[in-house]
Structure 1
Amino acid sequence: MTKLSVNINKIATLRNARGGNMPNVVDAAINVQKFGAQGVTVHPRPDERHITYQDAYDIHPLVHTEYNIEGNPIDSFMKMVLEIKPTQVTLVPDSVDVLTSNAGWDTIINKDFLSEIIAECKRNNIRTSIFIDPDKRLIEGAANIGADRIELYTEAFAAQYDLGNKKAIQPYTECALLANELGLGINAGHDLSLENIQFFKQNIPHLLEVSIGHALICEALYKGLEPVIKQYIERLK
């Protein structure tokens, strides 16, 4: 079964819109696990506009499944990661001014930089995943820099699926097959939802984990957090 890691950034976005501590992100981390999620994901950005670095520290002792911290490996981010030592760090090339993640790494151009970051994480027993577009050259690049996993950036698939173009899954399937051949674990995330997750899962061999936040929290507004998590888990079987 593919694991579901719930990204709770949007809980923090709602909290920060009003100030105070409601909704409480620590409680959210506890509850998504109680409802069946096999992991918790946070993605603190340098401006801390949703999840803060302090949130990442506060959540850590309460994660009994897997803890995945995503972000651009700037100095402050890496300091936090090396202190917390989560199960997994997912490296994402976020620019400071982007609203949400909008591109994967070029693992060829950034080979030396990423190799150094990955080596440091491995010295600290932290699994590394590289956020990446479905491009075979970049998959090979991820293997060459010593990554443990890739996270396929799925926005393009999701957009085309909404338009009825199911053939958009093909490059993702091909990249997953190559990644597995190269010894890379396969994760995926971005714009996956209850509408497209089952089709995606059925067409991506060796899919270990999906990280889902925005769609899941939006769906939970109408259906409730526990029922939505259980629906995802059922569709990932």
Structure 2
Amino acid sequence: MSKLSVNINKIATLRNSRGGNVPNLIQFARDIQNFGAQGVTIHPRPDERHIRYQDVYDLKPVVHTEYNIEGNPIQQFIDMVLEVKPTQVTLVPDAEDAITSNAGWDTIKHKDYLIDVIKAFKQNGIRTSIFVDPEVKQIEGAKATGTDRIELYTEAFAHQYGLGNKDAIVPYTKCAELANELELGINAGHDLSLENIKFFKDHIPGLLEVSIGHALISESLYLGIENVIQMYLHKLK
């Protein structure tokens, strides 16, 4: 079975939009683990528009499954990760003003930089993963950095699958096969959903973990709203 790590950025977005502490990010992290999720993922950004840097520290004693921190390894991020020591750090080359992650690393161009950053994390017992596009040359480049895992950037697959193009899985399968040969662990994430997750998993040999946030939280709203409305109606009788 591939593990499910739930990205809770959207819960922090809701909280921050109103101020206060509703919804309670820390309690939500507890709950999703109690419900069976095998990991918690967060992606703090410099502007703290969703996950705040303080959240990273507050979540540490709460996450008893896998704690995965994603982000661009600027110095502030590196220092924080080395202090918190999560289970895994996922390196993502997102710009400070990016709405969401939209590209993987050029593992060839940034090889030396990634080697240095990954070495620092691994020396501190933190598993490393690199966010990559589904290109064979980038998988080969990732291996040269010394990373433990790659995270396949799945937006292109999800978009094409939604249009009915199931062949969009082909480059991901090829990259997964190569990663297995190179003894790189395989994670995946971005726009994976209830609609496409089974097909994706069935075609990715050795898939260890998926990180899902936006779709999972949105689906929870849809699938849970009827129950909440009925609870309100019952209270109002």
Same fold, judged at TM 0.5 (above) = yes
Q: Which residue of 2 aligns with 1:49?
A: 49
**Residues 1:69 and 2:69 aligned together:** yes
Q: Which residue of 1 aligns with 2:132?
A: 132
Q: TM-score, normalised by structure 1?
A: 0.94
**Residues 1:16 and 2:16 aligned together:** yes
Alignment partners' CA distance in 1, 2:96 and 2:65: 30
**What's the CA shift string for 1:169-216, capped at 9, x where partnerless?**
000000000001001000000000000000000000000000000000
**Residues 1:215 and 2:204 aligned together:** no
Root-mean-square deviation over aligned CA pairs: 1.1
Q: Secondary structure at the match of 1:210?
A: strand
Q: Which residue of 2 aligns with 1:99?
A: 99
Aligned amino acid, residue 16 of structure 1: N
Q: Secondary structure at the match of 2:61?
A: helix
**Divergent runs of 4+, >3 A:** none
**What's the CA shift string for 1:7-31, capped at 9, x where partnerless?**
0000000001101110011011101
Q: Which residue of 2 aligns with 1:235?
A: none
Question: How many residues are aligned here?
Answer: 226
Give the 5 Å matches for 1:1-237.
1-224=1-224
Q: Secondary structure at the match of 2:183?
A: coil
Q: Secondary structure at the match of 1:62?
A: coil
Unaligned runs of 5+ in 1: 226-237
Alignment partners' CA distance in 2, 1:29 and 1:99: 23
**What's the CA shift string for 1:65-86, capped at 9, x where partnerless?**
1000000000110111000000
Identity of aligned residues (%): 73
Aligned amino acid, residue 153 of structure 2: Y
Deviation at 1:222, TM superposition (A): 1.7
Alignment partners' CA distance in 1, 2:42 and 2:11: 10
Alignment partners' CA distance in 1, 2:80 and 2:155: 28
Q: Secondary structure at the match of 2:191?
A: coil
Q: Secondary structure at the match of 2:152?
A: strand
Alignment partners' CA distance in 1, 2:171 and 2:115: 25
Q: Secondary structure at the match of 2:215?
A: helix
Aligned amino acid, residue 27 of structure 1: Q
Alignment partners' CA distance in 2, 1:116 and 1:21: 38
Alignment partners' CA distance in 2, 1:205 and 1:105: 22
Aligned amino acid, residue 14 of structure 1: L
Q: TM-score, normalised by structure 2?
A: 0.94
Alignment partners' CA distance in 1, 2:224 and 2:151: 27
Unaligned runs of 5+ in 2: 226-237
Deviation at 1:224, TM superposition (A): 3.3
Deviation at 1:60, TM superposition (A): 0.8
